[in-house]
Chains A and B, each alone.
Chain A
Amino acid sequence: MTRERKRRIEGFIALALSTLAALLGLFWLIFILGDVLVHGLKALNLSLFLNDPSPPGTEGGGLRNAFVGQLIITVFATLIGVPIGVLGGTFLAEYARGRKIARIISILSDIMVSVPSIVIGTFIYAILVRPFGHFNGWAGAIALSIIMIPVVLRTTEDMLSLVPWTLREAAFALGAPYYKVITQVVYRGAATGILTGILLSIARVAGETAPLLFTSFNNSFFSLNMNQPISSLTVTIFQYAMGPYDNWHEQAWAAAFVITIFILLLTITGRLIIKWRYR
């Protein structure tokens, strides 16, 4: 075999393997999504959203408590996390721009984004659950907001940095103080980007389970009281999937379907906005 031929064959094999790798990635995605779709659609019905769970082992019932609980926890996490994240990002991109402290905080935030969420759960357990003696919704919402803050902070910083400096100078020239320049000029220029960051951060925390296991815990009854344990879809999926009843498994699949679709829609929307606005 000539050297030339050997190189050709080697190249062909390597490129074929790469193509196989890409197909494997697609295969997993289709496999997982398809599975969630098939099982989820089968179990999906109206009573899932309208009824509360029936006693274990009996047929029927729904997950109204979990849907509502998940919504409340996520909304409160967003209400706490987004303002802190946006303001923090503002500091890094505006007041501390180019300073060492801004770099340190952005690097730490990038690390925080990937810190195991279960560790944040144990942290919140120690400061917000144990002192009060019972699991509560607030602890869950705050745990999620701590996961959210670095995500929002980093996207805000990046998006504000994209706003041209000349725009700020134009506003300064009119005599506007810096805070007015930021709130009325810079924020407006970066609004879509910040919104995208918020969407993606909601998508990030909406599927979190580990930090909720020992903060908001779970509640098999309908509850709106954030001072008490509150149910969430993800923790319910965990308990139902691990549980012994077929009925539970079906409902877990349905819940998994709803939450997956919700998160994928948020993610795709976010990506599309970035594409449409920033490329």
Chain B
Amino acid sequence: MAAISKKNPVDLIFSFVTAIASFSVIIFILGILYVLVSESSLAISRFGIIKFLTSTDWNPVTESFGALTNIYGTIVTTFLSLLIAIPVAIGIAIFVTEISPNFLKTPIGIAIELLAAIPSIIYGMWGLFTLSPIMSNYVEPFLKKITAGIPLVSVLFQGTPMGIDILTASIILSIMIIPFTASISRDSFNLTPAVVKESAYALGATKWEVVKNVVIPYSKLGVFGGIVLSLGRALGETMAVAFVLGNNHRITTSLLDAAATITVTLANEFAEADNDVYLSALFYLALVLFVMSFITLAIAKFFLLKAERKYSR
């Protein structure tokens, strides 16, 4: 086909234009990396890498900036949201592929996809006005009460339940990432060959045993890829968290305290950063986030590709 394309000058131009358009993706990635590094060079030279990543100081007045409180908030909310989302998402996938009657499969599939299509600003607003009061009035006092006497666990629920805290933010994040894990798990489950399942049934396995011992082991690569993908999404989610996390640069042990994530700090402080070091530190944060999420997403893609290759064989 290349031989045909070389003959015609218009064709050469067309192939050139399309090539540039597709290289734009690489240009954007390199461009983002270059711009973020050069914009944050002031902060990099002033705070270094290790010191920036490990310092908990975030003080615009003294121009002293460290990323640890932001990174801590990002990791805690992401981890907690995955903890809630993974079992639910896998449950949904099991329900859709193995339990649900046929006429329910499509509507539930669409419902889950719609959950993914709702813009994050809507999640944030709903979280602020609806979920947060419910959390502070009912859920959080209840959690405080039942964990009160238990050592270690009670530490997680100290403080006044305000509803604007790590727990609320994580719940909203988990709702947002459930659809990604659920739909990828469902697709992977569906790829389990019917013959393998039937032979397990023929040996007398119950439905759950088939899911546990045949379907999940067979599709674990895909499911894992889906989980890492939603991990990447949760890392970079901004608006849903910005509403309900407060913006508190402190490392807290209680889930009922406000915190800050990298994205929330950027959303709240970027437009008002009034001096060069401050702005440069924010660009540095953005760089850290970009690198973190790019690596995570690349790992997810690696597993999904590996899964794809395995299933297509």
Contacts and interface: CB of A to CB of B under 8 A. Distances in A.
Interface stretch (A20-28, A45-53, A54-62): A20-28
Contact of B25 (A31, A96, A149, A264): A149
A91 B129 contact: no
Interface in B21-72: 21-26, 28-29, 31-32, 35-36, 39
A120 B207 CA distance: 46
A255 B22 CA distance: 35
Contacts of B286: 118-119, 122-123
Given A122-B36, A123-B31, A91 B18 contact: yes
Interface in A187-210: 203, 206-210
B120 A122 contact: no
Nearest to A7: B206
Interface string B285-313: 01001100110011001000100000000
A229 to B, nearest CB: 11
B71 to A, nearest CB: 14
Interface in A94-110: 94-97, 102, 105, 107-110
B126 A32 contact: yes
Interface of A: 7-8, 10-12, 14-15, 17-22, 24-26, 28-29, 31-33, 35-36, 39, 83-92, 94-97, 102, 105, 107-112, 114-123, 125-127, 146, 149-150, 153, 172, 177-179, 182, 203, 206-210, 213-214, 217, 234, 237-238, 241-242, 249, 252-253, 256, 259-260, 263-264, 267-268, 271
Contacts of A115: 236, 290, 293-294, 297
Contact of A117 (B36, B211, B236): B236
B129 A179 contact: no
7 contacts: A21-B91, A21-B92, A25-B178, A90-B18, A108-B29, A114-B236, A177-B7
A213 B267 contact: yes
Contacts, number: 280
Contacts of B218: none
Contacts of B229: 114
B182 interface: yes
Given A108-B26, A210-B267, A203 B117 contact: yes
A243 B32 CA distance: 32
B123 A126 contact: no
B175 interface: yes
Interface string B265-291: 011001100000000001100100110
Nearest to B271: A214
Given A111-B297, A123-B35, 7 more contacts: A18-B91, A32-B123, A108-B25, A110-B297, A118-B286, A213-B271, A241-B129
B258 interface: no
Contact of A238 (B4, B212, B239): B239
Contact of A88 (B22, B88, B267): B22
B131 to A, nearest CB: 9
B127 to A, nearest CB: 9
A115 B14 CA distance: 30
Given A15-B99, A95-B18, A110-B301, A178 B8 contact: yes
Given A114-B229, A122-B286, A259 B305 contact: no
B168 interface: no
B208 A10 contact: yes
Top 6 closest A-B pairs, CB basis? A207-B119, A116-B236, A21-B91, A88-B22, A11-B208, A91-B18
B301 A22 contact: no
A31 B293 CA distance: 30
A20 B301 CA distance: 30
Interface stretch (B106-114, B136-144, B190-198): B106-114
A29 B162 CA distance: 24
Contact of B243 (A109, A178, A241): A241
A107 B308 CA distance: 13
A252 B18 contact: no
B188 interface: no
Tell which of A24, A178, A267 has the most Cβ of chain B within 10 Å. Answer: A178
A237 B7 CA distance: 55
